[in-house]
Structures are given as structure tokens and as C-alpha cells.
Structure 1
Amino acid sequence: MRRAAKNTVFTLLLLFLCAATALFAYLYFFQPGERDLSGEWDAELDMGSRAAVMALDWLQDIEGVSVSLEEVESYMQGLTIRVNLTFQETARSEGTFRCGILPESYEACSQAAYEAFALAFQSLLAERLRMAGYTGGTDGESIEALVNETFGMSTVAYLTTCGPALLPSLEELQAQYDGSGTYTAVEGVLTRQFDVGGPGAVRAERYIRKGSSLVLSGEAQDASGAVPLDRVQGHYPVVYTLRQAENR
């Protein structure tokens, strides 16, 4: 009888330990958003809205031509800048990070933005010429030749030289996104403490881990209460998706 009681207690204890182990394993490995973030991630900042707003403001100065933000945005598709973000977990839900804008991606995005801007400009210029009774060709090639003849340079070169700054400067973006330091990831909030930027410089973001993607949203904050760059500009998002980078 005593032996049977011991066996029963042992069995119950074993079942309890198995259940506790399974629960711990679930919480550690499968609980949404709380898994190890270690690895290299790639983010893409969508710059289309910012570029469209800056282009629109400049295009509206062309006399006799009306254009909407939606029309300009239709040209500014796929304008993204890559950001590299690396996490290294050193303890449960905390570790070190390194983040930086990729300059070559910035240059490629800037070039693509002005090429898209050139298409919008040529379309509006052709419309303005037709309204003025111009009898020459108004197709893309003809307008490009006219721009070259008038300004002595291509449409893209003219807009890059004389047009608005479609994107924030690389230095502005680097000031906003570049840096390294320590992080904690607790209850769906990723908090990064930067090594530089003044005492208490932190960024707190809500995050969701979805397979190979990490969805971050939030606003930079610092001890001085300075308004973050994305709120000052107001034209590019603080919500972005990072995908696990392939081995390089």
C-alpha cells in the first residue's frame, strides 16, 4: 500500500515536472514577441510619401498646371532605404545592438526618386506646353530633348541641381537611426539605450515577432524631450518591418 502511494506521488510529480518543462519551453521558444532576437536584420524605410510631398510643393509653382498629391505619389513608388540592425542577446530578453543606414542604399533611393520626379515633371511640362499651344512633340523623348536644349542638362540633372531636396540628408537619417548600445525586450516593448546621444537617450518601440519578420513601431525619445526627426519631417513612417538577413 505504501509502495503504491509512493508510485502515485512519484507519477504525479513527474507529470507536474513534464508539464512545467513544456510550459517553460513554450514560453521561451514560442511566446509571440519574446524569443531571442539575436541576428542580423534588414529594414526598409519607405520614403515615397516624403519625396511626393516635396516634389508636389515644387511642381505647384509651375503656372497653369494643377497636380494632386495622389498623382505625384503614383510616380514615387518603391522608394526605400535599407537599414541594417543587429541584435546579440547576452541574457534573457536583453543584449546589445548595432544599427545603421546603408549609404549605398540611400544613394540608390535618391537617384530613383529624382528619376521618378523627372517623369512627373515631364508629364506636367508636356501638359503646360499643350495648353500654351505648343505644336512640337510632347512625348517623353521630345520633352527630354527640349529640357536639354533649354537648360543644357538632362531632366534628372536639372531637378537634382535646381529642384527641391526630395529626401532628408544622409546625415539627418544617420543621426536618427545610426548607433549602438544595449536593449531589453519585455512584454512586447523593445527598448534601446544608445551609447551616445546624451544621457538617457532611448528609443522605445512596440514590436511583434512574426517568423522571419520583426515589426517595430514607436517614436524615439530622449531625456531632453527633443522632438524626433520623423515627427519633425512628418512624411516618412516610424513603422517598418525588418526581415532576417541572409548569411553574408
Structure 2
Amino acid sequence: MRKIRKNVIVTILILTLGASTALLAYLHFFAADDRRLSGEWTGELHMTEQAAVTALGWLQDMEAVKVTLEDVESCMQELTVQIDLTLEQTARGEGTFQCNVLPESYDACRQAAYEGFAEAFRGLLAERLRMAGYAEGTDGEAVEALVIETFGMSTVSYLMTCGPALLPSLEELQAGYDGSGVYEAAEGILTRQFETGGAGAVRSERYIRKDASLILLEETGSGDSKKALDRYPVVYTLKQPQVR
């Protein structure tokens, strides 16, 4: 009887030890993968609202015509600038990073912003001409021809030259996002130590990793709360998982 009881106890201990080992192995090799950040990520900075608000302030100076933010936003759809973020894990919860604003994406976004601005401007100019009793055509092509005749350049070129800056400069965005260095990830906080770009700077951000998305929610301990609010959230999408 005592021998049977001993065998039962040993069996239970072996099963318990086996289950514990399996659980630890799962947590190490699988559950930890949920927190792995390695990969090539791409994110977008949304610029539509900023561009539309800036354009609206300028357009409202035109006499006798009314324009709303919704009117301007309807001409500026989905203005975004792409950011690439590469995270390379070198040990559990830490690694290296490289982040860049894509200049070609910025140029395309800026061009699209001013094309939308030009569309809104031509519409208001046509309305103003009709109110003034202008007898010639006031469709888009006619107004564009009138702008070229008057200013010696297209509406887009005129607004780029004489109008307001609709977007932050590329240099400003690069100063805010570009750089490389090392990172640590623990308890939902991603801490990046910049060694190039913002050299010496440390940025700690709350993040959520869900499937193929990495969401940076806010900066923790930021001394400039307004700047932090303007920056977040930033949603990155995994482009190419790294093979381990």
C-alpha cells in the first residue's frame, strides 16, 4: 500500500514537473513572440487636417466669398507622409532601430496638398468673378488660364510660391522622427536611445503590438505635452517579418 502511494506521488510530481516545463517553454518560445518587435514597419503621418486648416486661414481673406473647413478638406483627401521603422531584436526585450521619413512620400504629399489647395482656390475665385459680373467662362480650365495669364505661373506654383506652408518642412519631420540607435521594450513601454539623428535623445512611448500592427500611443514623461499630443498615435504595419 505504501509502495503504491509512493508511486502515485512520484507520478503526480513527474506530471506536474512536465506541465510546468511545457508552460515555461511555451512562454519562452511562443508567448514571448507576441512581444517581439523585430521587423520592417511602415507608418503614416496624417497631414490632411493641418493642411486644410492652414489653407482655410488663407482662403478666408478673399472678400465676399464663404468657405468652411469641410469645403477645403473635401479637396484634400488622405494626405499622408510615410515613415519606415526597422527594429532588430538582439536579445529578449532589446535591440537596435532605424527610423526614416521618406522624402519621396513627403514630396508627393506636399504636391497633393497644394493641388487640393489650388482646387479650392479656383472654386472661390470663380465664385468671386461671377459675383463681380465677369462675363467670360469661369470653369476650372478658364480660371486656371486666367491665373496663368495674371501671375505667369500655374495656380499650384503660385500657391507654393506666394501662399502659406501647408505642411511642416521635411527637415522638421526628419528632426522629429529620423534616427537610429538601441531600444528596450518592457511592460508596454518602448524606449529608444537615439545615437544618430536626435543623437543622445531618449524617447519612451507606450505601445500596443497586435498581429501585424504596432501602435505608438503616447510619449511618457514628455516635457512638451503639446508636441507629444500632435505626434500620436502612430500606427505602423509590419511589412516583412524577420526570420529567426
TM-score (norm 2): 0.87
Matched, 1:231 2:222: no
SS at match of 2:134: coil
After TM superposition, give the deviation of residue 96 of structure 1 in Å.
1.1
Contact 1:41 1:84 in 2 (8 A): yes
Match of 1:188 in 2: 188
Matched, 1:145 2:145: yes
After TM superposition, give the deviation of residue 42 of structure 1 in Å.
0.4
Contact 1:34 1:185 in 2 (8 A): no
Contact 1:34 1:186 in 2 (8 A): no
Distance 1:183 1:245 in 2: 20
Aligned residues: 239
User: Which AA in structure 2 matches 1:79?
Assistant: L
Gaps of 5+ in 1: none
For residues 25-174 of structure 1, the aligned pairs below 5 Å read: 25-26=26-27, 29-30=30-31, 34-174=34-174
After TM superposition, give the deviation of residue 208 of structure 1 in Å.
1.1
Alpha-carbon distance change, 22 to 46 in structure 1, aligned in 2, over 3 angstroms: farther
Distance 1:143 1:220 in 2: 50
After TM superposition, give the deviation of residue 22 of structure 1 in Å.
4.7
Deviations 1:87-116 (A, max 9, x none): 011111111111010111111111111111
Distance 2:12 2:2 in 1: 15
Distance 2:29 2:131 in 1: 67
SS at match of 1:195: strand
After TM superposition, give the deviation of residue 43 of structure 1 in Å.
0.5
Deviations 1:147-172 (A, max 9, x none): 11111111111111111111111110
User: Which AA in structure 2 matches 1:231?
Assistant: K
SS at match of 2:161: helix
Match of 2:238 in 1: 244
Runs of 4+ in 1 over 2 A off after TM superposition: 1-24, 26-31, 196-199, 219-222
Contact 2:39 2:240 in 1 (8 A): no
SS at match of 1:40: strand
Gaps of 5+ in 2: none
After TM superposition, give the deviation of residue 7 of structure 1 in Å.
3.7
Two-structure CA RMSD over aligned residues (Å): 2.5
Contact 2:46 2:78 in 1 (8 A): yes
Alpha-carbon distance change, 16 to 83 in structure 1, aligned in 2, over 3 angstroms: same
SS at match of 2:168: coil
TM-score (norm 1): 0.86
Deviates more, 1:44-53 or 1:19-28: 19-28
Alpha-carbon distance change, 182 to 82 in structure 1, aligned in 2, over 3 angstroms: same
Alpha-carbon distance change, 130 to 218 in structure 1, aligned in 2, over 3 angstroms: same
User: Which AA in structure 2 matches 1:17?
Assistant: L
Contact 1:148 1:155 in 2 (8 A): yes
Distance 1:43 1:149 in 2: 41
User: Which AA in structure 2 matches 1:207?
Assistant: Y
